[in-house]
Amino acid sequence: MSYLKLNGHKTWVHLPKGKGEVVLLLHGGLSSSKSMLDKVASGLDRTFGVAAFDRRGHGRTADTSERFSIEAMAEEAAAFIRHIGKPVHLLGFSDGGNTALALAMKYPELVKRMILVGANWNRDGLVPMSQFTPTSPGFAEWAAHYGSLSPDGVGHAKIAVAKAEELFATEPNWKIEDLQAINIPTLVLCGDDDVVRLEHTVKMYEALPQGQLCVIPAATHSVMKEYPKLTAKFFNNFLTMTLPPVTLYPQRRK
């Protein structure tokens, strides 16, 4: 296993191979890079170098006493990209997608294209959901998996969950104007039964100057697990297509 110091913190990383273009995978909350590397990387690594890292308090990276925040997650990602040494494509899932948005806003020079899967630009964009707590069904199973990877052990699982739930309830807080300022080619992808409201996702697509939209039918927030080959085709198509796209009867695009 490989580790780097990112902003002074020992962080598990998966470094890209080769000298070609790099796709950086940004995992979701209460998850790790493992699920994306298992389900997504095989559909990308024939064309791109694939990179990933477990952010603080997730996967194989230990936590600190600080709260989870999108800003801190974006700073970790920026430090990793600078270590890679060149701009990258971003593939962010859930609040990994929110991290990608934050990167695009603050450090656009580090981002070539980005794919947002199940991302939300405001905390109000999520459907009402019950909080995930130590008394929730499935918590013990999830905590055991968390402890099998985390240097902090299974006992830290309830702390990580509480910090993640606070993040979900308070961030992000962007406005449409913030999205309109992102001039980076972006694919917005979701399931038609996602935890992010469909109208919220459509507003994001319509606000992004170089946005594209993909809604997968009969799919949920776990669309990449449900349709790994299909989503990989969309990812590859977007990352390799000539831009701006040439279509037969454009309405929204000039």
Give the CA diameter of the chain.
Answer: 57
**Which pLDDT band, with edges at 50, 70 and 90, does 235 fall under?**
very high
Q: What single-letter amino acid sits at 233?
A: K
CA distance 244 to 63: 41
What is the average pLDDT across 159-183? 97
| pLDDT score recorded for residue 42 | 87
What domains can you pick out in the chain, each with its CATH number?
A: 2-240 (3.40.50.1820)
Q: Tell me the pLDDT band of 170, cut-offs 50, 70 and 90.
A: very high
How high is the pLDDT of residue 18? 86
74 confidence band (pLDDT: 50, 70, 90):
very high
Q: Which of 20, 22, 64, 39 is nearest to 152 (CA)?
A: 64
The closest alpha carbon to 164, from 78, 59, 58, 90, belongs to: 58
Residues 212, 245 contacting (CB under 8 angstroms): yes
pLDDT of residue 247: 93
pLDDT recorded at residue 177: 98
DSSP letter assigned to residue 109: G
The yes-or-no verdict on residue 19 having pLDDT over 90 is no
Q: With 80 as the cut, is the pLDDT of residue 1 above it?
A: no
Amino acid at 61: T
Q: What is the pLDDT of residue 78?
A: 98
Percent of the chain with pLDDT over 90: 93
List, for residues 180-197, the tens digit of each pLDDT value: 999 999 999 999 999 999
pTM: 0.97
State how far the Cα of 101 lies from the Cα of 201, in Å rounded to an integer: 13
Average pLDDT of the chain to the nearest whole number: 96
Q: Would you list the DSSP string of 130-149? A: ----TTSTTHHHHHHHHHHH
In which band, very low, low, confident or very high, does the pLDDT at 33 lie, cut at 50, 70 and 90?
very high
Starting at the earlier edge strand, list the strands of the sheet with 22-26.
2-6, 9-14, 49-53, 22-26, 88-93, 111-117, 186-191, 211-216
Q: Is the pLDDT of residue 116 over 80?
A: yes
User: Comparing C-alpha atoms, which of 242, 238, 252 is closest to residue 115?
Assistant: 238
Residue 188 CA: distances (Å) to CA of 17, 90, 112, 250: 27, 12, 15, 18
Average pLDDT over residues 61-81: 98
Q: What is the pLDDT of residue 192?
A: 98
Q: Which of 185, 179, 189, 177 is nearest to 116 (CA)?
A: 189
Per-residue pLDDT band for 39 (boundaries 50, 70, 90) equals confident
